[in-house]
Copies of this chain bind each other. A is one copy, B any other.
Amino acid sequence: MEEGMTLPTGAVQTIPARSGIAARVKKDQFIKVINTHGTQVVDAWAFNALDLTEWMSMEASRASFMKLAAAVGDTFVTNQRKPILTLVEDTSRCAHDTLMAPCDRWRYGLLGVEGYHDNCRDNLHSALANLGVVIRATPPSLNLFMNIPWTADGELAWGEPVSTPGSYVRFRAEMDLVVAFSACPQDILPINGVTGTTTDAHFSVE
């Protein structure tokens, strides 16, 4: 896709397995992210198209909707507390994780991987580079379909997705955006279903 190009309305785009893709979205458009094969975590980020230092903030969003995970009707906000994405529909039955960092090369090193491993952090920056966009930090990601259960004592665990093939989330863009998605290449822990499985996912802008 050419730099700065807006997606054709409604076109379904592939988020290739273990890889990332970014797109420009206009205010009031809807973004649908589809868990095509049912068990793929998709890390998501959103940036103000006019100021790339303003991004969707998990820590400000939790303080806004006062939950660990958003429900339909909840709005994510930026690091300037402005509405950026509203969750308007969700057929996945998932509590989309807001707590965990996107995976990165160091994470895989700690998990015993030698040499390079695809990772969501690098996927984000590569996807943005394909749009001609550079950011100077890696914001915490919204981890779509990712199942991180918590206990009353605050213990966390790595769960498998509870979504089903073709289930999706739909967001309304509350400002002109750059969005980025990474089909998480985590194949050491079972967060993408049966350990070792990583698949494509899809999204559309309407």
Contacts and interface: CB of A to CB of B under 8 A. Distances in A.
Interface residues of A, number: 35
A17 interface: no
Contacts of A59: 58, 99-101, 140
Nearest to A153: B67
Nearest to A63: B100
A95 B154 contact: yes
Given A59-B140, A137-B137, A154-B95, A79 B101 contact: yes
A156 B62 contact: yes
A109 to B, nearest CB: 8
Interface string A154-165: 111100000000
B104 A53 contact: no
Contacts of A67: 154-156
Contacts of A99: 59, 62-63, 68, 99
Given A53-B136, A63-B101, A66-B155, 18 more contacts: A58-B59, A59-B99, A59-B140, A62-B99, A62-B156, A63-B107, A66-B157, A67-B154, A67-B156, A68-B154, A80-B106, A81-B109, A81-B110, A95-B154, A136-B136, A137-B137, A150-B154, A152-B152
Interface of A: 53, 57-60, 62-63, 66-69, 79-82, 95, 99-101, 104, 106-107, 109-110, 136-138, 140, 150-152, 154-157
7 contacts: A67-B156, A69-B154, A80-B104, A81-B109, A81-B110, A99-B99, A150-B154
